[in-house]
Structure 1
Amino acid sequence: MASRTARLLLKKNRLKTPLLALFVSAAALIQSGCSSLFFFPDQTTYITPDRLNLTYENIYLDTADGETLHGWWLPAKAQAQGTVYFLHGNAQNISSHLLNVAWLPAEGYNVFTIDYRGYGKSTGAPDIEGALHDSEIGLRWLATRPDIETTPTFLLGQSLGGALGLTLASEWVQRNETPKLNGVILDGTFSGFRGIAREKLSNFWLTWPFQIPLSWTIPDEYEGVDQIANISPVPVMIIHSVRDGIIPFHHGQDLYDAAGKPKRFLQTDTPHAATFVIPAYKESVLEFLRDN
């Protein structure tokens, strides 16, 4: 039940009977509110870095509330120019999102990516608070790596990962935490948890009456559009596609308008979370990394 309704908010509905899908989704929403419906994890290993000729380490991190998180450290193939901390989208796990960052080690960037609780080999069950906690633990682990002390650190969040990364980065910069962030890249990210929940609920006649009360189950401090200005003066790059069928284009524009300077906007024309299949878009991101 939960895995089906997770698709209602951020994934295309794959149930064969549309009316049945609406009833199933509405029933779960009424019972549980919105928070857990942002997450659609699985434990399948789709690909490992070695299949892409990448060197890697399995990293396991313990959380304060007793969970264990799994991640991959992918060192740069040559002398490292920097490190990218990657937070993936809401479906499957890091192995299905690997291709989004597998090209970076060859360009001279270390990559670290983790699975939130409940995803892949990470224990527990996902929710917004837990995923935010997990994303912070991953960034704190980077501070323990002596090989990143002399090079810049960047955060790259895609879709749900961008929303988590935005909240994390806004607090991280304000607290002057280590490692210092040299840039934040948000790709196909929604402007706020409550906002996107209300928007998606309003698209279906069966859930339309519940869009306001159910969205209120999500605390309003998770609205990225209200937080993104706090990342300044760290540079921000917003990437959003005019053909994004999951997160409408206006979310990227809203985030860009609310962000402080310096900031960049890259308008793309790929499907959701498919930015890096286009070499020119990779080059735009590399330019941002080099400039910062």
Structure 2
Amino acid sequence: MKYVQEKQARLGESRLVPRVALSASMGFAAYWTYLYFSQTKHIFSPALKHHDVLTHHAHEFTELRLHVAPGVELEGWVRMPAGMGGAGSKAPCAVYFGGRSEDVRWLLNEAQGFKNLPLVFFNYRGYGNSQGTPMEKNLVADARVIYKWVAEQPWCDRNQISVIGRSLGTGVAMQLAASTPVHKLVLFTPYDSLISIAKKKVPLAPVSLLLRSKFKSNECAANVRNPTFVLLAENDEVVPHDSSLRLMQHFAVKPLVATVKGTDHVSLPHDIDAQGLVSHFLTT
């Protein structure tokens, strides 16, 4: 009798293991399916609240709409410091690409640290009042349209168009710099690839297979041959320093690097000293 009971118990256990394994597999499959179809809102997180615009800097800015694709217009601004951009004059300028939760209109209030550097900045698709859906291929395609538009402006020295990328936007800036003759490149808190960042956030998911927007900056870094300046926050809990350092190992030309004291991932581009460093790098 005891033998029969032990045999039945072992039989029950043998049937339980496949059921547990099946349930676990179904759970992982459901989780991965959720990640795949919801990834856009996790990668791109447009700010819901617009920044109030302070009127005492309004004279420096021109608001515009740029048609980048059928049915898609982006809102953007040109910052032209006082005394620049006059008839017949051409100036160096920089195009700024923001982070994952960034409405770039904050620059309307806080660009004074960039001093005499003309700036061009647009909200990504789906951000602010820009139309469309954000995806890597869309953002990179739009960046090329923006660069071309800037190069055609009468106030722009087309041989001195630089690019600034922040966080997520460093992936856009890297791809533009790797395929376009930009003058100089500035990267605020860059990462080697979105895959490596995502692996730390969701270690149990096959992120390299699930991600549609991979932003593999490490793979295009070898094609970036212009002078590059990397700015790191002293305390960054979003993009680990080791991710930035891994990226820098792939550059064809070793970048200049600065860690700005007293800053974190969010505050770094707002820091007036960091802006001053960028302005000096791009205008000398």
- 1:250 aligned residue (242, 257, 264): 242
Unaligned runs of 5+ in 1: 1-25, 174-180, 203-208
What is residue 20 of structure 1 aligned with on the other side? none
1:82 has 2:92 as partner: yes
Describe how 1:93-172 pairs up with structure 2 within 5 A. Answer: 93-96=103-106, 98=108, 101-104=111-114, 107-149=115-157, 152-172=160-180
Structure 1 CA distance, aligned partners of 2:32 and 2:254?
A: 44
- 1:55 aligned residue (51, 60, 66): 60
SS at the partner of 2:184?
A: strand
Check conservation: 2:125, 2:139, Cα contact below 8 A: yes
Greater shift, 274-283 or 84-93, is seen at: 274-283
Deviation digits for residues 208-265 of structure 1, max 9, x if unmatched?
x21x2x3323369731012112111x10111112411111111221222211225201
Structure 2 CA distance, aligned partners of 1:282 and 1:85?
A: 14
Q: How does the TM-score come out when normalised to structure 2?
A: 0.78
Structure 2 CA distance, aligned partners of 1:64 and 1:165?
A: 19
- 2:227 aligned residue (224, 227, 235): 235
SS at the partner of 1:76?
A: coil
Alpha-carbon spacing, 1:158–1:144, altered in 2? closer, same or farther (3 Å): same
What is residue 197 of structure 1 aligned with on the other side? 198
Q: If you compute each CA radius of gyration, which structure gives the higher value, 1 or 2? A: 2
- Aligned length in residues: 250
Matching residue's letter, 2:100? N
Check conservation: 1:188, 1:240, Cα contact below 8 A: yes
Structure 1 CA distance, aligned partners of 2:98 and 2:108?
A: 9
Check conservation: 1:243, 1:249, Cα contact below 8 A: no
What is residue 76 of structure 2 aligned with on the other side? 71
Deviation digits for residues 73-96 of structure 1, max 9, x if unmatched?
111223365211111111141224
Matching residue's letter, 1:103? G
Structure 2 CA distance, aligned partners of 1:98 and 1:255?
A: 31
Unaligned runs of 5+ in 2: 1-30, 86-90
Structure 2 CA distance, aligned partners of 1:184 and 1:49?
A: 29
SS at the partner of 1:40?
A: coil
Structure 2 CA distance, aligned partners of 1:100 and 1:161?
A: 18
1:222 has 2:232 as partner: no
Q: Report sequence identity in percent.
A: 18
Structure 1 CA distance, aligned partners of 2:214 and 2:240?
A: 21
Deviation digits for residues 122-172 of structure 1, max 9, x if unmatched?
112212222222222211210120111367221111111111111121111
Matching residue's letter, 1:82? P
